[in-house]
Chain A
Amino acid sequence: MAFKHVNAVIVGAGAGGGVAAKELAAGGLSVVLLERGKWYSAADCRKDDLRNQRTSPLGNNSGPDEARNPRVVVDLNGQERVVLPSEGGYSNNAGCVGGGTLTYGAQAWRFQEKDFRMATTYGVPEGSTLSDWPISYAELEPYYEKAEYEIGVSGDVSTDPFHGPRRKPLPMPPLPVGREHTILKPAAQRLGLHPFDIPMLRNSVPYGGRPPCMQCRWCVGFVCEVNAKCGTQNTSIPAALATGNCELRTGCMAREVLTDARGRATGVAYYDADDRLCEQTADIVIVSSAAVESARLLLNSKSQMYPAGLGNRYGWVGRNFQGHSYSGAWGLFDFETYDDIGPGASIAVCDYNHGNPGLIGGAMLANEFIRLPYQFVSVAPPGVAQWGRGHKDFMRQWYRRSIAIQGPTQEIPIADSRVEVDAKVKDFWGLPVARLSGGKHPKTMETSAAMTDKAEAWLKAAGAIRTWKKLSGKGTSGGQHQAGTCRMGDDPRVSVVDKYCRVHDHDNLYVIDGSVHVTNGGFNPALTIMAIAYYAAERIVKGRKGRGV
């Protein structure tokens, strides 16, 4: 089935694709936005502890479809297994309109200036592919601001001395603070740290025609019941559709990016909601399917001219797969810390993102999102019984008297942490599935260990009577922070896209999502993905202007 030719086809309606669709449509381009999942609304919210994007023993709440989308995961011992989206190791983000932004925790971080210059700041450790970004914080700053104002961010970073220069304050004040915040703030100050209110893509006051957060406990992992969480599904994508220039097609699974005899992208072949093979031709093709699926789509777009897939002449597609090395500590208190007020995560310090002696990078440290009872089960410290009376006593005694501090430790990218396509396993549509393998650089683990010390010290200063550390595993992280697989760079031999997200060798094929991140900062990456989408889309629109689109 073929459709009317359009200016741009975008594969994936998440943080990157949703923003790009809006910018292009508003700039006068005709856009088709393909999304493999469904479009959920606030009314689809199910506050289900066992079936959500964060805790999924009974499945996900916003995709992708469990039965149709397996992956192959190779562990550190070389053992490989087929995993489903709700299972551990899958690195699931989401499969729905809005992508991860529908259910995320919504922390809205700008990376710091040094996060764009990691190789210059620290040198390149052996065995790593650490590199600077081809763009700087300053170049991205206006687009961070645009994301903060158009999508909507609340918080207060005025007491964080480490953030890069910014022209405007955040558009919304922070949410009222909870009990953990009031416990942790003076402790941080006593330690000489600089605590502040986490910037969040979440309404604290009515904004963008949507109400403020009602601070319930079902936050990260869930669709927001009152539509206060700001994602592309309730901001940029409706705005794109309102221009009249954008068509959103859901239930559409991309098969490959099509190219002509000269190597130009001509469109996308995909399976529609009824599993019919369709073709959408376009002047520009934008891949925005998140780090795993974007790499997979490029690798699956094989032709005589590109036997190893698109953008992969030097074998860089799928490499440098990274998320964050999440590490921190738990503390138990002899007084109640639980107040049943969401979203929970509220206070952060950026004192440890850089400047840790002998270490590379670091992490923003923050208190953890409010935990549901089932999530607390796996928290138990060493020595506590896994079952029986000891387990029940632990739950009863400490559920309301505990705090977790964690941080997304910046990973040092390595070439062998990668996404490939599997030679044998196919998905429902017969497409080779993503194959994830590799691990973390030893330097990443060193920094992570240091972050657990810092988190523990903060908890102790706050009065914790018992603390224990939680160190990230050595395997690939990926997950909802997945990034790096189509790295941005000036040199086509060691990167996949140029500084404007355009795939080297193809002047009309773009990757706009976390895949292009050279490094992933010590921060949740969503706002950076949005900022890059604004930045890259602006360039596309400007480039088309001269040609009378």
Chain B
Amino acid sequence: MDHLKINSWRRRRFLRIAGTATACGVLTSCARENSPWRFLTTAEGRTLDAICEQIIPTDQTPGAAWAGVVNFIDRQLMGPYRRQQTAYRSGLREIDQAAVSKFGKDFAALDTGQQTALLQALEGGAKRFFSTVIAHTMQGYYGDPRHGGNRDAVSWRMLGVPVIPIRGRNRYEFPKQGAR
């Protein structure tokens, strides 16, 4: 396994190239289940997606789900948000449990009104977790698309911010000659 003892970025790249078939035998996290995400399970991803869509819903423009906010969060949970992995695991479980005990269904299966009501009624640790998700959703929706969210710069288009940085603004006409 010497070829895997290179730095993690190259290792990830190698695994992507080599295909998951070989990788599954090596990395237990991969063997766990067939989740499309890096950190989240399929079910967690579904719950988180529904929460994010509540935070920034689709109206005349796409919301958080379309913008790929879950992809953003999942990616950061394996990077800068690493310290929040446990918070996500338990927080998402707690919200799903609340949904089951209140409405008899997983959070993602609730209708929009029920989801909103449930999130508004959160208390204690679940409420704190929800604030974290709000903060991360804002980053994923309004931040730079290079981090996996804000697909197609959808939020920048919504706000009317030029997506491609405008260059060549150097204007050499000056209203004032020199300064006193």
Residues of A bordering B, CB below 8 Å? 47-51, 57-59, 86, 154-158, 169-170, 172-174, 176-177, 197, 204-205, 211-218, 338, 340-341, 372-374, 376-377, 386-389, 391-392, 395-396, 399-400
Let me know if B165 and A400 touch, CB within 8 A. no
Q: Which of B9-17, B24-32, B153-161 contacts A (4 or more CB under 8 A)?
A: B153-161
Residue among B61, B170, B171, B180 making CB contact with A211, cutoff 8 Å:
B170
Let me know if B178 and A377 touch, CB within 8 A. no
Q: Can you name 4 extra interface pairs (CB under 8 A) apart from A48-B147, A156-B176, A214-B168?
A: A50-B143, A58-B143, A217-B165, A374-B143
Residues from chain A with Cβ under 8 Å of B176 in the complex: 156, 173-174, 197
Residues from chain B with Cβ under 8 Å of A59 in the complex: 80
Q: Does B111 sit at the interface, judged by CB under 8 A?
A: no
Residues from chain B with Cβ under 8 Å of A386 in the complex: 134
Q: List 23 A-B contacts (CB under 8 A).
A: A48-B144, A48-B146, A50-B144, A57-B80, A58-B147, A154-B179, A155-B179, A156-B180, A158-B180, A176-B174, A197-B179, A204-B174, A212-B172, A216-B167, A340-B161, A374-B138, A374-B139, A376-B142, A387-B55, A387-B134, A387-B137, A389-B59, A391-B56
Let me know if A389 and B57 touch, CB within 8 A. yes
How near does chain A come to B74, taking the closest CB pair, in angstroms?
A: 14
What are the nearest 10 A-B pairs in CB distance? A158-B180, A156-B179, A374-B142, A50-B143, A387-B55, A170-B179, A373-B142, A399-B159, A377-B138, A215-B169
Residues from chain A with Cβ under 8 Å of B63 in the complex: 392
Residue among A49, A58, A173, A377 making CB contact with B174, cutoff 8 Å:
A173
A392/B165 contact (C-beta < 8 A), A169-B180, A172-B179, A177-B175 known: no
Q: Does B90 sit at the interface, judged by CB under 8 A?
A: no
Q: Does B33 sit at the interface, judged by CB under 8 A?
A: no
Most-contacted residue by chain B among A341, A372, A377 (CB, 10 A): A377
Q: Does B114 sit at the interface, judged by CB under 8 A?
A: no
B107-149 vs A, Cβ < 8 Å mask (1 yes, 0 no): 0000000001000000000000000001101110011101100
**Bound CA–CA A400/B161 (angstroms):** 9
Let me know if A399 and B170 touch, CB within 8 A. no
**Bound CA–CA A217/B168 (angstroms):** 13
Residues from chain A with Cβ under 8 Å of B7 in the complex: none
Let me know if A395 and B147 touch, CB within 8 A. no
**Bound CA–CA A396/B142 (angstroms):** 12
Residues from chain B with Cβ under 8 Å of A212 in the complex: 170, 172
Let me know if B169 and A341 touch, CB within 8 A. yes
Q: Does B166 sit at the interface, judged by CB under 8 A?
A: yes
**Bound CA–CA A386/B135 (angstroms):** 10
How many residues on chain B are close to A (CB under 8 Å)?
44
A396/B174 contact (C-beta < 8 A), A216-B169, A340-B166 known: no
B76-107 vs A, Cβ < 8 Å mask (1 yes, 0 no): 10011000000000000000000000000000
Let me know if A58 and B80 touch, CB within 8 A. yes
B16-44 vs A, Cβ < 8 Å mask (1 yes, 0 no): 00000000000000000000000000000
Beta-carbon nearest neighbor of B143 in chain A: A50
Q: Does B177 sit at the interface, judged by CB under 8 A?
A: yes
Which applies to chain B's interface (DSSP): helix, strand, loop or mixed?
Answer: loop
Residues from chain A with Cβ under 8 Å of B144 in the complex: 47-51
Residues from chain B with Cβ under 8 Å of A177 in the complex: 175
Let me know if B171 and A176 touch, CB within 8 A. yes
**Bound CA–CA A157/B80 (angstroms):** 43
Let me know if B143 and A49 touch, CB within 8 A. yes
Residue among B143, B166, B171, B180 making CB contact with A157, cutoff 8 Å:
B180
**Bound CA–CA A372/B158 (angstroms):** 13
Residues from chain B with Cβ under 8 Å of A58 in the complex: 76, 79-80, 139, 143, 147
**Bound CA–CA A170/B174 (angstroms):** 15
Beta-carbon nearest neighbor of A336 in chain B: B160
Let me know if B159 and A400 touch, CB within 8 A. yes
Residues from chain A with Cβ under 8 Å of B159 in the complex: 373, 395-396, 399-400
**Bound CA–CA A205/B54 (angstroms):** 48
Residue among B79, B158, B169, B180 making CB contact with A214, cutoff 8 Å:
B169
Beta-carbon nearest neighbor of A196 in chain B: B179
Beta-carbon nearest neighbor of B83 in chain A: A84
Q: Does B2 sit at the interface, judged by CB under 8 A?
A: no
A399/B138 contact (C-beta < 8 A), A170-B179, A176-B174, A211-B170 known: no
**Bound CA–CA A378/B168 (angstroms):** 31
Residues from chain A with Cβ under 8 Å of B56 in the complex: 387-388, 391-392
Residues from chain A with Cβ under 8 Å of B147 in the complex: 48, 50, 58
Beta-carbon nearest neighbor of A58 in chain B: B80
How near does chain B come to A378, taking the closest CB pair, in angstroms?
A: 8
How near does chain B come to A166, taking the closest CB pair, in angstroms?
A: 9
Let me know if A399 and B180 touch, CB within 8 A. no
Most-contacted residue by chain B among A49, A57, A392 (CB, 10 A): A392
How near does chain A come to B95, taking the closest CB pair, in angstroms?
A: 14
Residues from chain A with Cβ under 8 Å of B166 in the complex: 216, 340
Residues from chain B with Cβ under 8 Å of A204 in the complex: 174
Residues from chain B with Cβ under 8 Å of A205 in the complex: 172, 174
**Bound CA–CA A373/B135 (angstroms):** 14
**Bound CA–CA A158/B80 (angstroms):** 47
Residues from chain A with Cβ under 8 Å of B167 in the complex: 214, 216
Residues from chain B with Cβ under 8 Å of A340 in the complex: 161-162, 166
**Bound CA–CA A373/B167 (angstroms):** 19
Beta-carbon nearest neighbor of A387 in chain B: B55
Residues from chain A with Cβ under 8 Å of B143 in the complex: 49-50, 57-58, 374
Residue among A48, A155, A216, A399 making CB contact with B160, cutoff 8 Å:
A399
Let me know if A173 and B116 touch, CB within 8 A. no
**Bound CA–CA A216/B173 (angstroms):** 17
Let me know if A387 and B165 touch, CB within 8 A. no
How near does chain A come to B138, taking the closest CB pair, in angstroms?
A: 5
Let me know if A396 and B54 touch, CB within 8 A. no
A174/B179 contact (C-beta < 8 A), A58-B80, A389-B57 known: yes
Most-contacted residue by chain A among B76, B143, B166, B172 (CB, 10 A): B143
